[in-house]
Structure 1
């Protein structure tokens, strides 16, 4: 079991808890090697979607997944990035300084950690998040491209258009006209 992935579960206190967790894993078709009090040993890391389903089912029975410290930090970075995008007044400082103000870690550590877990840099994630926000605002059809550029922190409509095309392969105008490119859910970025 040296190669197993260990997932910690809070509130498991008896053999019935083990059986309940095993039933949940079986019902979700999640492979596991062993369940012990407070721990599940799995042959592989769960996808975010499967992990979310497992969390939901465990919570129904009073159990709770204990997220690893690393995944919690990455989640906190994502929340800080989303906050930065939504809060136009804090854009006087750059993204790395904003994240440093929100989290008690050195930015280079956070950047390396984020890249290792997400397989993309913080900056790439931020660009993708911004483009999804732009898509949302285009679909709402209430703002001009200039207003959208300002609201999402682009220096100009030209900069917005260049980034949008780089990520989606379309211009914002073309996206607005066809609207066939589906938006991604934020947890899918």
Structure 2
């Protein structure tokens, strides 16, 4: 049986889910971001207890089909941007559609209806979060980050960064360096 869990985006979340299942006497066969497969059928009482346990950790057991599909879309995007070494070379729409085996227009319409933003905007927001992370690590320059995240140019990346954060990438990096220097003075 498959269970879908919202906000399950890290190894820590997986450990919380695994522990909650074990307490209920349930055994997982697969545990992935946003999804867990269990051997047994879950009783309504077990479902309710699992829902409450997960809720205390900020996780949510999903019930309706739209929420499950939205969570699958978000998980594919988060894995694609934050956890894979290379972004796909195909269009993101083709990638998402292929991964979920749904028509992209259908996915896009459902996502926009439920979340109030487009899939493309969600992707951009996560790419900018990844840019921030890479800037803070200070291991890559802006050109390398731009190339890694498949931006057409450094200028395009900078424009999107400023549009989302209100800051230029270089100013963002300087703020971080200034904050670190101030903390060292304490």
Using the size of structure 2 for normalisation, the TM-score is 0.62
Let me know the Cα RMSD of the aligned residues: 3.0
SS of match in other structure, 1:163: helix
**In structure 2, C-alpha distance between the alignment counterparts of 1:55 and 1:106, rounded to whole Å:** 35
Does 2:133 correspond to 1:162? Answer: no
Does 2:183 correspond to 1:178? Answer: no
**In structure 2, C-alpha distance between the alignment counterparts of 1:82 and 1:57, rounded to whole Å:** 21
Equivalent residue runs for 1:139-158 within 5 Å? 139-158=136-155
**In structure 1, C-alpha distance between the alignment counterparts of 2:168 and 2:85, rounded to whole Å:** 24
Of 105, 112, 116 in structure 2, the residue corresponding to residue 115 of structure 1 is: 112
Does 2:90 correspond to 1:77? Answer: no
Q: Which residue of 2 aligns with 1:33?
A: none
Q: Which residue of 2 aligns with 1:12?
A: 44
**In structure 1, C-alpha distance between the alignment counterparts of 2:104 and 2:69, rounded to whole Å:** 12
SS of match in other structure, 1:170: coil
**In structure 2, C-alpha distance between the alignment counterparts of 1:11 and 1:66, rounded to whole Å:** 15
Q: Which residue of 1 aligns with 2:101?
A: 104
Q: 1:88 to 1:156 in 2, by over 3 A?
A: farther
SS of match in other structure, 1:142: coil
Q: Which residue of 1 aligns with 2:54?
A: 56
Whether the aligned pair in 2 keeps the contact of 1:130 and 1:152 (CA below 8 Å) is yes
Query: Any unmatched runs of 5+ in structure 2?
Result: 1-41, 178-186
State the shift of 1:156 in Å: 1.5
State the shift of 1:111 in Å: 0.3
Q: 1:53 to 1:139 in 2, by over 3 A?
A: farther
Give CA-to-partner distance per residue, 1:61-103, whole Å, 9 cap, x none: xxx9452111111111112222332546553210110011101
| Equivalenced residues, count | 133
Q: 1:152 to 1:97 in 2, by over 3 A?
A: same
**In structure 2, C-alpha distance between the alignment counterparts of 1:12 and 1:123, rounded to whole Å:** 37
Query: Any unmatched runs of 5+ in structure 1?
Result: 1-9, 25-51, 181-189
State the shift of 1:176 in Å: 0.2
Q: 1:58 to 1:11 in 2, by over 3 A?
A: farther
